[in-house]
Amino acid sequence: MARPIVHVVQHLVPGGLEVMVLELARAQARHHPVLVVSLEGERAAAEAHWPRLAREATRIVYLGKHPGIDPGVVWRLARLLRAERALAIHTHHIGPLLYAGMAARLCGGLRHVHTEHDAWHLQNAKRRRLAQLAMWIARPVLVADAPHVADAVVAALGGQRPLVVLNGVDVAHFAPGDRAAARAALGLPAAAQVIAIAARLERVKGVDVALRALAAVPNALLAIGGSGSERENLQALSKDLGLQERVVWLGHVDDTALLYQAADVVCLPSRAEGLPLALLEAQACGRSVVASLVGGVPGGIDPATGILVAPEDPDALALGLREALARGLHLPPCKAAEGPGSGNPRDFVMRTASLDSMEAAYTNLLLGASPWTPSSPTPPPP
């Protein structure tokens, strides 16, 4: 029996990190056995909340971690890694790094790759100390999903600069489609100008900024695909702004390609980001994007068609949306995102951020076919 690559995540809820892991695991499974381990959660509840999980071909195991520190997870994970005869582990975010790093040491030091998917959490002193401790224990091959994340990791933790592997998307699935058919499938009006957002309804995603901007984008409809704790507050805000007739709350959209295909323009008004998959997916579907200039967004937006705006600025976002809706994909590049480009956002993604290129880079690291060596972070403070 071939030995599997094991991915470890904190939980499996709809989000960019979790989608990226499932997509990467699916691509790797074409060549190697793959197992995805969720520290938190139970299968029935996870699948009820996110139906995609029930359809995954990749094996998924839930460890049911208790809230707070749960040392038993280390032993359960170590037993699982031994039973599966794991070939290598790939951790995502700090919790999995700490628990799986200790479990891997108990198993004799498995090949370990760790990806940092954002940088903002390292601004917190407590999280920074925890990250230092986890890196020092696990000594993984360290990867960042965007150059700015690599810079932030070095600034916060010291040690060797991480290798950068850009997130990638399945360009066969995320592709231009029939706009009328996509709108019909989602119940959106055929003739409207549609601005789409695919995001968790949490403050960090800035959907409230987009609602305020919509007030200054006449006649456009905002279609929001996502769920989260801020939904009621955001719906109340749309009512206060008199926009309830121009906002469609789609809830969780299992196949976001449909949402992008239905849109005229896609909006990412986030307050903080790593390199968001939604940005790449929308462009792979041939849609221009108006996005906040935060995190790794500048490196993931097509310079010939994308528009970057200041975060937390509804007026700037409204201006960008009006320009994008007016020009389509056929007018000259916007000054807000200058640089070389083909004028087709799909071409940009095909060149820079495909699922195949991401899978090849990570698989080489996990199988030891790369010269990169484990990180040597600064020892944790006493």
Sign of CA dihedral 271, 274, 276, 279: positive
What tens digit of pLDDT does each residue of 93-125 get?
Answer: 889 999 999 999 999 878 999 999 887 777 888
Instruction: Return the axis-axis angle of helices 314-327 and 207-214, rounded to nearest 10°.
Output: 70
Q: What is the mean pLDDT of the segment spanning 241-256?
A: 94
- Structure tokens that stand for 63 in this block: 């460890």
The CATH topology of domain 5-168+355-366 is Rossmann fold (3.40.50)
Q: What is the pTM of this model?
A: 0.81
Measure the CA–CA gap between 342 and 56, rounded to whole angstroms.
Answer: 35
pLDDT at 337: 40
What's the chain's average pLDDT? Answer: 89
pLDDT at 339: 40
- Domain extents in the chain: 5-168+355-366, 179-352
pLDDT at 254: 86
Residue, of 266 and 147, whose pLDDT is higher? 266
pLDDT category of residue 377 using cuts at 50, 70 and 90? low
| Residue 42, pLDDT above cutoff 90 | yes
- Structure tokens that stand for 315 in this block: 């007026």
| Residue 373, pLDDT above cutoff 80 | no
Residue 220, CB half-sphere, CA atoms under 13 Å: how many?
Answer: 28
Residues 307 and 283 sit within 8 Å (Cβ to Cβ): no
Comparing C-alpha atoms, which of 104, 127, 103, 105 is closest to residue 116? 127
pLDDT at 380: 54
The CATH topology of domain 179-352 is Rossmann fold (3.40.50)
pLDDT at 233: 97
Measure the CA–CA gap between 311 and 18, rounded to whole angstroms.
Answer: 24
pLDDT category of residue 330 using cuts at 50, 70 and 90? very low
- Do the domains 179-352 and 5-168+355-366 match in fold? yes
What tens digit of pLDDT does each residue of 120-157 get?
Answer: 777 888 888 888 888 888 889 999 988 888 988 888 88
pLDDT category of residue 341 using cuts at 50, 70 and 90? very low
Q: What is the mean pLDDT of the segment spanning 16-33?
A: 92
What tens digit of pLDDT does each residue of 154-213 get?
Answer: 888 888 899 999 899 999 999 999 999 999 999 999 999 999 999 999 999 999 999 999
